[in-house]
């Protein structure tokens, strides 16, 4: 493993203004309302690694993904890819060259492909945009190779997206992402819209391609089992903040943060081990008015006075890092994860 991480995210934050329109604010004396979608997010991704962000809806994982690729400007913090700042005002020419090396795969393969373009054009767009292919012949040849690479027929290039099933469309999206020969791909819930048997095909394909081209993934998902299968390291998000960052195995073997434990307990049990799913109290609070202190404290069985007033920061708890007062003070030990606790059938 190389020493220098490919992607470094530091103290990344995004605040949205969700206030009512100006006139309403004046008439109704309504205050300005700010929604903190992400705050203080710090992590790094090594080359050829898969870093996954997990969390429930509203945890800010997609916002972080969009900020990493530069689709959403961050309100604070910095993203550095291969030593080049994505957020710095200057050095935009360097950033332009960097763009080719970053691609994205989205959740909905219906919305992410232009229905009025032939598949050939969809896949060739990055080739044109980054002037990868010299002429039309080479472009055509390259598109054929890419289609074959993702398990489709080169003859499919003349078809339109609606002629394909969801899984095939996601293959097209992957071919498009690969066409500019990127090193880093951000995948935002790439299989959430797919059926399980198709999901397995796409996940296997993504792993094969990673090995073949030495790709680095930032993988966003709400599905812990999918993340378990794909990731080398995992960051768990809750209400816009990272609560635990851990090597994948460690997270499932010994989850530390109470929220991580809750998430693991909530995963349906397919082995019928009578582990039983623990129903968790409560839901994610409104991000406009997050609870003070640790955002998780209203739902946390281990919450005490300090959690209600002081926000915990990510502290190393080797080999993971955890943002939890109870873990810091040693009041709770790393939990028994699904790996140890699981009864082998």
Partner 1 sequence: MTDPVLSVRNLRVEFPTRRGTLTAVDDVSFDIMPGEVLGVVGESGAGKSMTGNAVIGLLEPPGRIAGGEILLQGQRIDHLPYEAMRRIRGKRIGMVFQDPLTSLDPLYRVGEQLVETILTHSKMSETQARARALELLNEVGIPAAKARIDAYPHQFSGGMRQRVVLALALAARPELVIADEPTTALDVSVQAQIIALIKRLCAQYGVAVMLITHDMGVIAETADRVAVMYAGRIAEIGPVRNVVKSPYHPYTQGLMGAIPKLDSEADRLTQIPGAMPRLNAIPRGCAFNPRCAHVFDRCRAERPELIPLERSAAACWLYDKASQPAETAS
Q: Which of 228, 241, 257, 261 binds partner 1 (CB under 8 A)?
A: 228
If the CB atoms of residues 140 and 207 are measured against partner 1, the closer one turns out to be: 207
Torsion-angle region of 187 (φ positive above 0: left; ψ -120 to 50: alpha; else: beta): beta
Q: Which of 32, 225, 309, 315 binds partner 1 (CB under 8 A)?
A: 225
If the CB atoms of residues 139 and 191 are measured against partner 1, the closer one turns out to be: 191
The half-sphere exposure of 261 on its side-chain side, counting CA atoms within 13 A, is 21
Restricted to residues 323-342, the positions that interact with partner 1 (CB under 8 A) are 338-339, 342
Q: Which of 3, 134, 197, 289 binds partner 1 (CB under 8 A)?
A: 197
If the CB atoms of residues 184 and 252 are measured against partner 1, the closer one turns out to be: 252
Q: Smallest gap, in angstroms, from Cβ of residue 342 to partner 1? A: 4
Rounded Cα distance, 343 and 345, in Å = 6
| Interaction pattern, residues 126-165, with partner 1; x per rule: CB under 8 A | ---------------------------------------x
- Dihedral angle at the C-alpha atoms of 236, 242, 248, 250, nearest 10 degrees? -100
Restricted to residues 48-107, the positions that interact with partner 1 (CB under 8 A) are 56-57
Stretch that binds partner 1, among 19-27, 110-118, 198-206, 288-296 (CB under 8 A): 198-206
**Bridging pattern class, strands 184-188 and 102-105:** parallel
Restricted to residues 158-187, the positions that interact with partner 1 (CB under 8 A) are 165-168
Restricted to residues 204-223, the positions that interact with partner 1 (CB under 8 A) are 204, 207, 222-223
Restricted to residues 265-324, the positions that interact with partner 1 (CB under 8 A) are 265-272, 277-280, 283-284
First to last CA, the chain: 36
If the CB atoms of residues 6 and 251 are measured against partner 1, the closer one turns out to be: 251
If the CB atoms of residues 112 and 168 are measured against partner 1, the closer one turns out to be: 168
Q: Smallest gap, in angstroms, from Cβ of residue 203 to partner 1? A: 6
Residue 240: CB atoms within 10 Å: 25
Q: Counting contacts by CB under 8 A, is residue 34 touching partner 1?
A: no
Q: Smallest gap, in angstroms, from Cβ of residue 94 to partner 1? A: 37
Residue 167 phi, psi (nearest 5) = -65, -40
List C-alpha distances in Å: 20 to 9, 14, 32, 289.
Answer: 32, 19, 8, 16
Contact predicate 34/18, CB 8 Å: yes
Strand partners, 185: 103, 217
Q: Which of 124, 264, 294, 300 binds partner 1 (CB under 8 A)?
A: 264
Rounded Cα distance, 229 and 215, in Å = 16
Q: Smallest gap, in angstroms, from Cβ of residue 302 to partner 1? A: 16
Q: Prior bond to 20 cis, omega within 30?
A: no
Stretch that binds partner 1, among 137-145, 264-272, 289-297, 320-328 (CB under 8 A): 264-272
Q: Smallest gap, in angstroms, from Cβ of residue 212 to partner 1? A: 14
Q: Which of 34, 200, 313, 336 binds partner 1 (CB under 8 A)?
A: 200
Q: Please provide the DSSP assignment of 169-207 as one string.
A: HHHHHHHHHHHT--SEEEEESTTTTS-HHHHHHHHHHHH
If the CB atoms of residues 15 and 267 are measured against partner 1, the closer one turns out to be: 267
Site size for partner 1 (CB under 8 A) = 45
DSSP H or E segment with residue 210: helix 196-213
Contact predicate 72/39, CB 8 Å: no
Contact predicate 28/195, CB 8 Å: no
Residue 37 phi, psi (nearest 5) = -80, -30
Contacting positions for partner 1 (CB under 8 A): 56-57, 165-168, 195-201, 203-204, 207, 222-226, 228-229, 252, 262-272, 277-280, 283-284, 338-339, 342, 345
């Amino acid at each position: 493993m190389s020493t220098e991480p490919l992607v470094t995210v530091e103290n990344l934050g995004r605040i949205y203004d969700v206030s009512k329109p100006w006139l309403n604010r004046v008439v109704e004396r309504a205050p300005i309302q700010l929604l903190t979608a992400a705050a203080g997010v710090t992590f790094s991704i090594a080359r050829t690694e898969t870093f996954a962000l997990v969390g429930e809806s509203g945890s800010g994982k997609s916002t972080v993904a969009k900020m990493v690729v530069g689709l959403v400007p961050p309100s604070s913090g910095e993203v550095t890819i291969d030593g080049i700042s994505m957020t710095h005002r200057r050095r935009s020419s360097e950033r332009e060259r960097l763009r080719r090396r970053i691609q994205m795969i989205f959740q909905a393969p219906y919305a992410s492909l232009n229905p009025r373009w032939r598949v050939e054009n969809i896949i060739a767009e990055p080739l044109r945009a980054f002037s990868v292919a010299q002429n039309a012949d080479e472009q055509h040849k390259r598109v054929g190779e890419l289609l074959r690479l993702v398990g489709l027929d080169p003859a499919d290039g003349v078809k339109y997206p609606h002629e394909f099933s969801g899984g095939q469309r996601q293959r097209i999206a992957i071919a498009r992402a690969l066409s500019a020969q990127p090193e880093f791909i951000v995948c935002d819930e790439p299989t959430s819209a797919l059926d399980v048997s198709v999901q397995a095909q796409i996940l296997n394909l993504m792993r094969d391609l990673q090995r073949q081209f030495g790709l680095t993934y930032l993988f966003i998902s709400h599905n812990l089992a999918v993340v378990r299968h794909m990731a080398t390291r995992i960051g768990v998000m809750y209400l816009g903040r990272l609560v635990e960052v851990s090597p994948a195995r460690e997270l499932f073997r010994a989850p530390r943060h109470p929220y991580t434990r809750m998430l693991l307990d909530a995963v349906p049990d397919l082995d019928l081990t009578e582990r039983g799913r623990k129903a968790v109290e409560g839901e994610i609070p409104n991000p406009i008015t997050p609870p003070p202190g640790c955002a998780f404290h209203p739902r946390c069985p281990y919450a005490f006075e300090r959690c209600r007033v002081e926000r915990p920061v990510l502290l190393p708890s080797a080999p993971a890092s955890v943002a939890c007062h109870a873990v810091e003070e040693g009041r709770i030990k790393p939990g028994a994860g699904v790996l140890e606790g699981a009864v082998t059938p």
